[in-house]
A and B are shown apart, each in its own frame.
Chain A
Amino acid sequence: MLLKLAWRNIWRNKRRTLITMASIVFAVILCVLMDALKKGFLDEMKKNMVGFYTGYVQVQQADYWDEKTLDNSFLFQDSLPQLIARNRSVTGITPRVESFTLAASEEYAKGAMIIGIDPLKEEMVTQLSEKIHQGSYLEATDKAVLIGEGLADYLKLGVGDTMVVLGQGYHGVSATAKYPIKGLIKFGTPDLNKGMIYLPLKESQQLFGMDNRLTSFVLQLKDIDKAEIVQTQIAADLSKEYRALHWKTMLPELDSFIDGETRENVVFQIVLYLLIAFGIFGTILMMTLERQREFGILVSVGMQKFRLTAMVILENSMIALFGALMGTLLSVPVVFYFNQFPIHVTGQLAKAYENFNLQPIFYFSLAPEIFYNQGLIVLAVAMVLSLYPIFKIARLQPVAAMRS
């Protein structure tokens, strides 16, 4: 009966109920879109920077992070990857040699990072071949390079052209060579696009005069959100000669940026939900005040106040839930569309984004929590706002209420 009463009560003033529901629907759609956009954008950024470059956890020689010189590299031993692989959260390990060099064409030169990779293992960890925009992926025996599209543009080089690299190798040896460009890589992050060179591991060790030495192992994880836990576990197993780092240590600016953006999103959502709350509260206020007489009658004839309270909470929850459910359902196809067809920013705005090292593409995340969180938040808002009628009903005097 309580449910029947609540259901019929919310439709007593259809227009008001529909307007309230509509305000919740649009607010939920807006919140879902904002959240999906923000999460999509940040996830993509994280994927580009962390997933394709640093990895979520790295194992390095203990001093390498503080002084990134090849002199702080370590000798490859099977025992180290075997030790790391014992951690069940690690699903892949790839070795790397990294050093900063000068890349040059006939007319231009630019600083760039050379990364020596095992093409097969790298593919399993970072799926690098997916980023090949022109040309083809490396093979372990190649004496060729993959370079970022931005670097190629700067140096005015293309696939098949030759690039010269000049740098310093292990223990100060000179590292100079020329390589044909086998492919161009297009990264989402402008900085990576303009400064990355990939070389097969053996060739890079030869270039830098560091036979069988590495600068890091990059780990692939089962759950990237547990990077810090895995890093702590692995660090505990390593000898003092090595150090494990998670991505937040390696890319502190990115971590701060994501953190800041997430907080900004929370503030935005709070403002939006405050607007929703006032909309719902308007309805609750009207429904409570204009029905004082009716509440008085119900209490007079023998309805306990807790039942009356339950009825009012049910009414508010039904309006909030229907609104949230409709909003969520309507937002799914919109978010799905933008997930499949991200928004590409063009012109001056795109350049402005690139200047801030941001990819000028708006991705939308389809993470399920984006959708169900909105329903839960709206329901929680309705519950909190129900305190008002609860307070009014608790203080209700039947005679005074019936006179109103």
Chain B
Amino acid sequence: MENSKIVIKTENLTKIYGEGEVAVRAINNVDLTIKAGEFTALVGPSGSGKTTLLNMIGGLDAPTSGKVWIDKVDISTLSNNRLIDFRLHNIGFVFQAYNLIPVLTAKENIEFIMLLQKRPKAERQQRVLALLKEVGLSDKKDSRPDALSGGQQQRVAVARALASKPKFILADEPTANLDSKTAGKLLDTMAALNHEEGITFIFSTHDQRVIERAHRVITLVDGAIAKDELIEYPSDHAQPETA
């Protein structure tokens, strides 16, 4: 992993909410590097800044100070429109509440991202079917979110995140709303994608099952990194992309 390509780098990243006496330092001078192919869990107590850090890495929230580089691009310098475009082509999101578009079917939800990317129809259709197969939902392609279980919706969300061929996927408490069995299956799917295809995942989580599968566990306390543990990759794991 030492020679792997760096996909995310933060430098003195700080986020302060409020001003004066009521100011809250949600993220405090965080320096972090994530390499391609990592399966990383951000853990910590509630209010430790996990989601805030994830949002800033994903360009959804602007830091008060410090920088975020995604694949050598300083995203804090991008205009709003370019940032939206940057997210579309580089970052996949999986949210706690699935956040699928309710009026679109599973297939359309996945295809939607590729439509925004203006990919050709044939490519879109081929990839949607492949992704649905990958997350085990080929038979649910025409179902709308309200006809899918929580686990199924979250698997569609994973497929949607993968559809844009992102550099990494940010998953904010993806198993929080799922029962134990469903969460296990979902994590198996994500772990397999990381293991076999080398897709980079960064989780914000409290879930012990996620932590058990992670190869790197970063513990945040009061907005700062308290612990950063690397766990050895299994021998059959896909080789991380090198710089």
Interface residues of chain A, those whose CB is within 8 Å of chain B, are 1, 5, 8-9, 12, 293-294, 297-305, 307, 397-399, 402
25 A-B interface contacts by CB (under 8 A): A1-B108, A5-B101, A5-B103, A9-B103, A12-B102, A294-B101, A294-B102, A297-B101, A301-B93, A301-B113, A301-B116, A301-B160, A302-B85, A302-B87, A302-B88, A302-B113, A302-B116, A303-B84, A304-B81, A304-B84, A304-B116, A307-B116, A397-B61, A398-B60, A399-B55
Residues on B with beta carbons closer than 8 Å to the beta carbon of A1 = 108, 112, 115
Residues on A with beta carbons closer than 8 Å to the beta carbon of B108 = 1
> For the complex, is B238 an interface residue (Cβ under 8 Å from A)?
no
Do A399 and B61 contact each other (CB < 8 Å), given the known contacts A5-B103, A298-B101, A302-B113? yes
B116 and A303 form a contact (CB under 8 A): yes
| Other-chain contact of B103, A8, A305, A398 (Cβ < 8 Å) | A8
B89 and A302 form a contact (CB under 8 A): yes
Interface residues of chain B, those whose CB is within 8 Å of chain A, are 55, 58, 60-61, 80-81, 84-85, 87-89, 93, 95, 99, 101-104, 108, 112-113, 115-117, 160, 164
Residues on B with beta carbons closer than 8 Å to the beta carbon of A397 = 61
Alpha-carbon distance between A347 and B108 when the two chains are bound, in angstroms: 67
B99 and A302 form a contact (CB under 8 A): no
Alpha-carbon distance between A301 and B92 when the two chains are bound, in angstroms: 7
Nearest CB in chain A to that of B51: its residue: A399
Alpha-carbon distance between A44 and B84 when the two chains are bound, in angstroms: 61
Nearest CB in chain A to that of B87: its residue: A302
B164 and A302 form a contact (CB under 8 A): yes
Residues on B with beta carbons closer than 8 Å to the beta carbon of A398 = 60-61
B104 and A5 form a contact (CB under 8 A): yes
Residue in B87, B103, B112, B115 whose Cβ sees the most chain A Cβ within 10 Å? B103
A304 and B93 form a contact (CB under 8 A): no
A to B contact number (C-beta, < 8 Å): 58
Do A301 and B87 contact each other (CB < 8 Å), given the known contacts A1-B112, A5-B104, A294-B101? yes
The 3 A-B pairs with the shortest beta carbon distances in the complex, nearest first, are A302-B88, A8-B103, A297-B99
Do A300 and B103 contact each other (CB < 8 Å), given the known contacts A1-B115, A398-B60, A399-B60? no
Nearest CB in chain B to that of A302: its residue: B88
| Other-chain contact of B95, A9, A12, A297, A298 (Cβ < 8 Å) | A297
Given contacts A1-B108, A297-B101, A398-B60, 15 further A-B contacts (CB under 8 A): A5-B101, A12-B103, A293-B99, A294-B101, A294-B102, A297-B99, A299-B84, A300-B58, A301-B88, A302-B87, A304-B84, A305-B81, A307-B116, A402-B95, A402-B99
A305 and B84 form a contact (CB under 8 A): yes
Residues on B with beta carbons closer than 8 Å to the beta carbon of A299 = 84
Alpha-carbon distance between A12 and B103 when the two chains are bound, in angstroms: 8
Residues on B with beta carbons closer than 8 Å to the beta carbon of A298 = 101
B101 and A300 form a contact (CB under 8 A): no
Residues on B with beta carbons closer than 8 Å to the beta carbon of A302 = 84-85, 87-89, 113, 116-117, 164
Residues on B with beta carbons closer than 8 Å to the beta carbon of A297 = 95, 99, 101
Nearest CB in chain A to that of B89: its residue: A302
Residues on B with beta carbons closer than 8 Å to the beta carbon of A303 = 84, 88, 116
B81 and A300 form a contact (CB under 8 A): no
Residues on B with beta carbons closer than 8 Å to the beta carbon of A8 = 103-104
Alpha-carbon distance between A305 and B88 when the two chains are bound, in angstroms: 13
Nearest CB in chain B to that of A396: its residue: B80
Alpha-carbon distance between A8 and B103 when the two chains are bound, in angstroms: 6
Alpha-carbon distance between A142 and B58 when the two chains are bound, in angstroms: 98
Residues on B with beta carbons closer than 8 Å to the beta carbon of A5 = 101, 103-104
Q: How close is A294's CB to chain B, nearest CB, in angstroms?
A: 7
Q: How close is A376's CB to chain B, nearest CB, in angstroms?
A: 29
Alpha-carbon distance between A31 and B80 when the two chains are bound, in angstroms: 44
Alpha-carbon distance between A247 and B224 when the two chains are bound, in angstroms: 86
Residue in A5, A294, A398 whose Cβ sees the most chain B Cβ within 10 Å? A398
Residue in A5, A301, A397 whose Cβ sees the most chain B Cβ within 10 Å? A301
Alpha-carbon distance between A300 and B84 when the two chains are bound, in angstroms: 7
Residues on A with beta carbons closer than 8 Å to the beta carbon of B61 = 397-399
Q: How close is B234's CB to chain A, nearest CB, in angstroms?
A: 32
Q: How close is A111's CB to chain B, nearest CB, in angstroms?
A: 76
